[in-house]
Copies of this chain bind each other. A is one copy, B any other.
Amino acid sequence: MPLSPDQQAEIDTQRATPSQTLRAVAPGMEAHLYTAHEVLDHGFVRVVDYMGDDAAICQAARVSYGRGTKSVSNDEGLIRYLMRHWHSTPFEMCEVKLHVKLPVFVARQWIRHRTANVNEYSGRYSILDREFYIPAPEQLAAQSVVNNQGRGDALQGEEAARVLEILKADSNRAYDHYEQMIGTDGQDGLARELARMNLPANIYTQWYWKVDLHNLFHFLRLRADSHAQYEIRVYADAICNIVKDWVPAAYGAFEDYRLGGAILSGPALSVLRRMLKGERVEQEDSGMSKREWREFMEMVDN
């Protein structure tokens, strides 16, 4: 169970006491507050707070573009226009604060996105819990033979069993030794900041992560992508589901123009125009390398 009894009690108290506010309220998001959406075997994503809604995006855009935006008939049209033309600052006017519990190796990928605020559980101050990510059997994928950073098919039978056995045994042994080193019963054990170095990267950590909507979309575009590692993609997917309820119009535009969209190079655009005029184009006369051509054909031929 991902939430500790203490955390659950704190959440229950908060949930029980709605207050009045004059701020913008997103009803779809209120429903997510204080609900821990489970991810992986011990992780979760939980909305702690948020600022703004679809209307707040338009409000900010209308300050910038003044009367010029009045010609756009409605909020959804305006939001789609902003997304299409990379006017990113109005999206920065919405903010969300999440509580996330996640394995350390996922946290290490996540933290590369620097335009966010983070408060992480500290292994210097506190003792980490015995919680490790052990993949579900269908996620025990082999190294891809075509892609250096990808996964192939799932391991089967004995090979899979052996891997699971290793991960479980090593995690538990590492944690046993961690406990031994820091000591018990108040005796002077090894400093926590040192003992934690024995713990493997599948141990869970947690943090508060606060980010604006523009930077969140950037994160989601990279991490909800099919090339992202499965273990971070499931967090991105969970967040997508939350954002959809928070700012439905902005999320719809994001889905159409970023997630589901594609980028054409100049040479690819030229080829496309020739093709649409009925010309038959081959890689040799496309101005693209073989690799670019293959990626291009996969995109248009899907």
Give A contacts to B, CB under 8 Å.
14-15, 17-25, 30, 33-34, 48-52, 56, 59-61, 63-68, 71, 77, 80-81, 84, 86, 89-90, 92-93, 95, 97, 99, 103-105, 108, 111-112, 114-115, 117-127, 133, 135, 139-145, 148-152, 155, 162-163, 166-167, 170, 173-174, 177, 180-183, 188-194, 196-202, 206-208, 210, 212, 222, 229, 255-257, 259-269, 272-273, 275-276, 289, 291-292, 295, 299-302
Specify which of B51, B170, B206 is in contact with A97 (CB 8 Å cutoff).
B51
* Docked complex Cα distance between A206 and B60 (Å): 11
Across-interface contacts of A201 in B (CB, < 8 A): 104, 196-201
Query: A292 contacts which chain B residues (CB < 8 A)?
Result: 80, 84
In the complex, 8 of the A-B residue pairs with CB atoms within 8 angstroms, ordered by the A residue number, are: A22-B30, A65-B126, A80-B289, A89-B119, A142-B190, A152-B188, A170-B174, A197-B200
Q: Which of B34, B177, B202, B257 contacts A166 (CB 8 A)?
A: B177
The dominant DSSP class at the A interface is: mixed
Q: Give how many copies assemble into the complex.
A: 4
Using Cβ atoms and an 8 Å threshold, which residues of chain B touch A119? 60-61, 63-64, 89-90, 93
- The residue in chain B whose Cβ has the minimal distance to the Cβ of A96 is B51
Q: In the complex, A125 Cα to B93 Cα: how many Å?
A: 20
The reply to whether A125 and B149 form a contact with Cβ atoms under 8 Å apart is yes
Is the beta-carbon distance between B65 and A133 smaller than 8 angstroms?
A: no
B24 and A49 contacting across the interface, CB-CB below 8 Å:
yes
In whole angstroms, what is the CA distance A177 to B269 when docked? 45
